[in-house]
Amino acid sequence: MANEEEIKTEETAEESTETETESETEKLQKELDSQKDKFLRLAAEYDNYRKRTEKEKLATYDNAVAATVEAFLPVADNFALAMASNAEVSGEFRKGLDMIQKQLENAFEKLRVESFGERGEPFNPELHNAIARTDDAELEDDCIALVYQKGYKIGDKIIRHAMVQITN
């Protein structure tokens, strides 16, 4: 009987050791999972931070370009008016004006500045500022009939809305 009791005690001790080992393994697994979760959250947070700062940096650049271009827009507008009023001028003078116009367009292109607001385009209140209405049989309703001042944008940022006349 003493032998049987010793065997039972040994079995109970082995079961107790196995239970403790399983319990300890579960604890370690939970701790590992917790640390892994913390690491993944930290990595995701860092990635979001990196993307946000990159976006802010681009926005800062776009804002600086927009402010600079806005200072030059009156010059571009006056030059466009001069080009339109001197349509009958020919020769070297006209060639010089065309070259200057091309340089101005190239400068805007390098800065990623786009102009908008052309006759026949559909009216978009987010881009265009309608200051008058007119009847025009050639165009559909709510289309641009006349452009008083072109609009400019860089990416999605509007530098200046186009001032236009639209059709009824």
Which structural domain, as residue segments, surrounds residue 157?
A: 113-168
Residue 31 lies in a domain: no
127 in any annotated domain: yes
Indicate the pLDDT class of residue 115, thresholds 50, 70 and 90: very high
Concatenated DSSP letters for 78-121? HHHHHHHHTTT--THHHHHHHHHHHHHHHHHHHTTEEEE--TTP
Number of domains in the chain: 1
Tell me, what CATH number does 135's domain have?
2.30.22.10
User: pLDDT tens digits, residue range 30-65?
Assistant: 999 999 999 999 999 999 999 999 999 988 988 899
Whether the per-residue pLDDT at 1 is higher than 60: the answer is no
